[in-house]
Amino acid sequence: MAVKTYREAITEALQIEMRRDPRVIILGEDVVGGLGGTNGEVEAAGGTFGVTAGFAAEFGRRRVIDTPITESAIVGAANGAALTGLRPVAEVMFMDFIGVCLDQMLNQMAKFRYMFGGKCDVPVVIRTLMGAGFGAGPQHSQSLHALLTAIPGLKVALPSSPADAKGLLATAIRDNDPVIFCEHKVLYGESGEVPDGEYLVPFGEANVTRRGNHVTIVAFSRMVLLANAVADRLAKEGISVEVIDPRTTSPLDRDSILESVEKTGRLVVVDEGDPYCGMASEIVSLAATEALDALKAAPVKVTPPHTPVPATPHLEQEWLPSPDKIEKAVRATLDSKLARAG
Amino acid sequence: MSYDPVMLLEAYRRMRAIREFEERMRREVQMGTVPGFVHLYCGQEAVGVGACMNLRDTDYIGSTHRGHGHCISKGCDIGGMLLEIYCKQGGLCNGKGGSMHIADLRKGMLGANAIVGGAPPIAVGAALTHRTLGTDGVAMAFIGDGASNQGTVAEALNFSAVLKLPMIFLYENNGYAEFTGAGYHLGGADIAKRAASFGMPAEKVDGVDFFAVYDAVGRAVAHARAGKGPYAVEAFAYRWYGHFEGDMQKYRDPKEVDRLRAAQCPLARFESRATAEFDIDVSELREIDEEIQELIEEKVAAAKAAPKPPREALYTDVYGSY
């Protein structure tokens, strides 16, 4: 166990999986970097954030493949390579860019196994950066995981810690289904203990990051960190908050969420996706349909408003869920009419 | 130029099988026995077969919504295809893909594809697999004149050129994108030239002539196998029927199909040249005709009689594990 950043944990998972299985390849824009520049063929980037730095030297350019800016071809080629025996890890630099390659996700990789009668595996991983917080504006900041979660055939993982980033990515690479691996760009510099060597975190198993009895917070990706901070803050007042990080939205660990809601009777969901048809709505719906009797208060959703993400830094902060908004939501569940009636 | 007579007879068998298969499907659609949409390949037989006779099972093709002919050209089992089109148990995709998604990876058939322009990037990925594994295998994408306008095709061309992939872009220009003529929808009017602009060899051939397609694609495959990168062939052929079966075809002269049948039949063209120049006896071809007729009759009957997938099949094969 060593302390590593989220970014280093991702690099480590890729490195370990590429060393153990020669079928694993990486493709994307600038995953090598610098090709065709005026400095000759130097490995200049290793990805926009340096995640694959040194990979071309170790694994060769046949396995670390620099592509043009061509998302449909990147994801499409990953699909074709996966159908024919490789285990590609393709990079769609920012999640917003799924707009230009959605067909290859929605109609191709997600459907192959089903429409081909189960006669193929589709071991493709799409690594992509989600999330707001850098003032990158409407086309570089979105969290579209719910949109992808609603596509049967895809799996969706959203690590909130360096250890989960490593373990979930390794699981994604070894999985025989297509996985959309959503890395939160604001978490890249976060540090945490990361197990050494091969490390796998199973899909569909939530992580309970704080134990508590009064209120359940279900949070996704970076929102888990905010929820943890609120839980710690409220603990000092004797309010005991349980924080659940589902870690994957597809498959979703419904049991852990319901178990916690049955225990606390109060639910807050924090998600960086849209308030409409998003994970927050989905989890509230789950509690309403499966655990209504246990609810002592109306569940509360903490999400951004139904607007694009503004580039304007102070408006972006306003747009994002914050510890204060989450705390207010937790207090509301403790103080609602339904709570008093119960 | 000489041709192996065994290859020629097999080529004819596949072209005849496509014709018989599609004409039968046409009648069945008219009688209402076939679920979903069916897009027929009649008139384009020499393109699929001329191309695929150059390929091995380990080479891959990506197909289109008009995929029956590509499947037969690549050697897919005709009984399995019919079971699939009728959405029955034992179909090539266990009855859940239907006409527009027939795939058979063991035969290198990466799937018919109901998204126009969906398959070329996927075929590029298969070419990438061959390059990564260091084999001399190739991949080919069939692309209609309609699909040639999709951005995915431009992306696939550039990606293949940049990475020098063993990839063949086989354009089938049948003059129509759905209900719209190429005279309207094709900016620049020259598909092969578009491919050539990515720095790859590109040729145009008469897609009604099996021999012309076979030779051109032979050059393309040799080029790709030798590691020289991608190659494009634009084959001109004619779509005898509508975009899909049931299309009223108000956009074309009703006599056009009769004229095409008389003057632009790939099978008739093959027969006259094969018998005149390459020592194929007409009786051999008639024998194949009979065999194929019986085969299609038998397989259609079997498909109609086969059991439907069970109710549980709705839920299977969404994921490998979940």
CA distance A317 to A325: 12
Going from the C-alpha of B121 to that of each of A73, B9, B20, B158, the distances in angstroms are 5, 33, 31, 10
Nearest residue of A to residue B88 by CA position?
A117
Chain-chain contact of B122 with A88 (C-beta, under 8 angstroms): no
Q: Are A302 and A326 in contact (CB under 8 A)?
A: yes
- How many A/B residue pairs have CB atoms within 8 Å? 156
Claim to verify: residue A183 and residue A286 sit in the same structural domain:
no
Nearest residue of B to residue A102 by CA position?
B118
Supply the mean pLDDT for chain B. 96
pLDDT in tens, B107-154: 999 999 999 999 999 999 999 999 999 999 999 999 999 999 999 999
Give me the CATH code for the B5-315 domain, please: 3.40.50.970
Where does residue A94 fall: left (phi above 0), alpha (psi -120 to 50 degrees), or beta otherwise?
A: beta
Supply the mean pLDDT for chain A. 96
pLDDT value for A341: 46
Among A156, A172, A194, the domain boundary falls at A194
Average of pLDDT values for B8-18? 98
* Phi, psi angles (nearest 5°) of residue B235: -105, 130
Claim to verify: residue A217 and residue A189 sit in the same structural domain:
no
Name the 3-class secondary structure at B62.
strand
Does the active-site annotation cover A140?
A: yes
Claim to verify: residue A121 and residue A215 sit in the same structural domain:
no
Helices (H), chain B: 5-31, 45-52, 68-73, 78-85, 119-133, 151-163, 182-185, 191-196, 210-225, 255-263, 266-277, 282-305
Residue A199 forms part of a structural domain = no
B106-127 burial, b at 16+ Cβ within 10 Å, e below that, comes to: ebbbbbbbbbbbbbbbbbbbbb
Overall pTM > 0.95: yes
CA distance A298 to A337: 8
Residue A39 forms part of a structural domain = yes
Chain-chain contact of A81 with B62 (C-beta, under 8 angstroms): no
Nearest residue of B to residue A122 by CA position?
B320
pLDDT value for A40: 79
User: Which residues of chain B make contact with A68, given a CB cutoff of 8 A?
Assistant: 155, 158-159, 162
Claim to verify: residue A288 and residue A170 sit in the same structural domain:
no
User: Which residues of chain B make contact with A152, given a CB cutoff of 8 A?
Assistant: 318
pLDDT value for A335: 87
Among A133, A160, A194, the domain boundary falls at A194
Which residue shows structure tokens 């590029």? B124
A120 Cα to chain B: minimum distance (Å): 8
**Where is average pLDDT lowest: A120-124, A133-137, B257-261?**
B257-261
pLDDT value for B134: 96
A81 Cα to chain B: minimum distance (Å): 4
Residue A123 forms part of a structural domain = yes
Q: Are A128 and A94 in contact (CB under 8 A)?
A: yes
pLDDT in tens, B43-58: 999 999 999 999 999 9
Nearest residue of A to residue B62 by CA position?
A80
B24 Cα to chain A: minimum distance (Å): 24
Residue A200 forms part of a structural domain = no
Q: Which of B71, B159, B167 to probe by mutation at the A interface, max A CB count within 10 Å?
A: B159
Claim to verify: residue A263 and residue A284 sit in the same structural domain:
yes
DSSP strand pairing (B139-144 vs A125-130) = unpaired
For chain B, domain boundaries: 5-315
User: Which residues of chain A make contact with B103, given a CB cutoff of 8 A?
Assistant: 112, 115-116, 119-120
Claim to verify: residue A141 and residue A219 sit in the same structural domain:
no
CA distance B10 to B13: 5
Average of pLDDT values for A152-180? 98
CA distance A113 to B112: 14
User: Which residues of chain B make contact with A18, given a CB cutoff of 8 A?
Assistant: none
Claim to verify: residue A94 and residue A123 sit in the same structural domain:
yes
Chain-chain contact of A155 with B62 (C-beta, under 8 angstroms): no
Residue A277 sits in a domain whose CATH number is 3.40.50.920
A335 Cα to chain B: minimum distance (Å): 38
DSSP strand pairing (B60-62 vs B139-144) = parallel
pLDDT in tens, A310-323: 999 999 999 999 99
Chain-chain contact of B318 with A86 (C-beta, under 8 angstroms): no
Among A137, A167, A194, the domain boundary falls at A194
Claim to verify: residue A178 and residue A233 sit in the same structural domain:
no
Claim to verify: residue A130 and residue A232 sit in the same structural domain:
no
Q: Which of A140, A145, A184, A214 is catalytic?
A: A140
Listed by number, the residues of chain A in 80-99 with a beta carbon closer than 8 Å to a beta carbon of chain B are 80-86, 88
Claim to verify: residue A137 and residue A61 sit in the same structural domain:
yes
pLDDT value for A338: 55
CA angle, A36 as apex, A30 and A39 as ends, to 5°?
Answer: 100
For residue B313, pLDDT over 50 is answered with yes
Listed by number, the residues of chain A in 213-252 with a beta carbon closer than 8 Å to a beta carbon of chain B are 251
Amino acid code (one letter) for A139: Q
Residue A43 pLDDT class (50, 70, 90 cuts): confident
Claim to verify: residue A213 and residue A316 sit in the same structural domain:
yes
pLDDT value for A342: 41
* Phi, psi angles (nearest 5°) of residue A29: -75, 125
Chain-centroid distance, C-alpha A132: 13
pLDDT in tens, A94-109: 999 999 999 999 999 9
Range of A114's domain? 2-194
Claim to verify: residue A312 and residue A181 sit in the same structural domain:
no
Query: How many distinct structural domains can be found in chain A?
Result: 2
Chain-centroid distance, C-alpha B298: 23
Average of pLDDT values for A281-309? 98
DSSP for B174-201, written as a single string: -SEETTEEHHHH-TTS-HHHHHHTTTS-
> CB atoms < 10 A from the CB of B172, how many?
29
pLDDT value for B2: 83
pLDDT in tens, A195-227: 999 999 999 999 999 999 999 999 999 999 999
Q: Are A79 and A124 in contact (CB under 8 A)?
A: yes
Residue A337 pLDDT class (50, 70, 90 cuts): low
> CB atoms < 10 A from the CB of B4, how many?
11
DSSP strand pairing (B167-173 vs B231-236) = parallel
Residue A202 forms part of a structural domain = no
Nearest residue of A to residue B116 by CA position?
A103
For residue A340, pLDDT over 50 is answered with no
